[in-house]
Each structure stands twice: as structure tokens, then as C-alpha cells.
Amino acid sequence: MTKPEIELLKDSIDKNVEIRTVDGEILVAKVNTVIHWEEHEEHEITYRVVSSSMMAWYERHGKDEYYVLDFEKIVSVKAADR
């Protein structure tokens, strides 16, 4: 992820962002927390799913739950239209 994308995530707490993952998922997520500790190599977000190209997976696992996504699984991030 680029530095501007990391900053976008940090500025998007309680807001929606569109995330593309290495699995090919296109996800609109409401960001809950962003952990970016370079010295500890811990980089992840927690989020609630708003919509996803893999919605069936979330429906099986609980759409209203919080999920964790490591930065290394994120291909791109941009502000969501919704």
C-alpha cells in the first residue's frame, strides 16, 4: 500500500472506503481501527462490511461482525462513493 492510501485509511475511521484485495475481492468497508506500527511490523485494519463482491462469505460468517484485514492483503484503497 502507498503512504497516501495508509493516510486515507487513518482518516477514514467510522467512514466507508473501497478496498481491493489480493483475492480479487472488491469491498466497501466501514473502518473501525487502523494499526500501523512500522517498528513492530503490525499493519492491519478492523472493519465492518458494507458490501462485497464476496458477500456470500460474510453472510455465512456474520455480516455485522468486525473483521481484520492485514495491509499485505490490500491491493488498493480509495474513498467510497457510499
Q: Give me the domains of the chain, ranges plus CATH numbers.
A: 3-79 (2.30.30.100)
The two most distant CA atoms of the chain are separated, in Å, by 36
Give residue for cell 500501523. Answer: 36
- Cα 11 to Cα 8: distance, rounded to the nearest angstrom: 5
**pLDDT value of position 82:** 62
pTM: 0.88
For residue range 39-54, what is the model confidence (pLDDT) as tens digits?
667 799 999 999 999 9
Chain-centroid distance of CA 14 in Å reads 12
DSSP state of 33: E
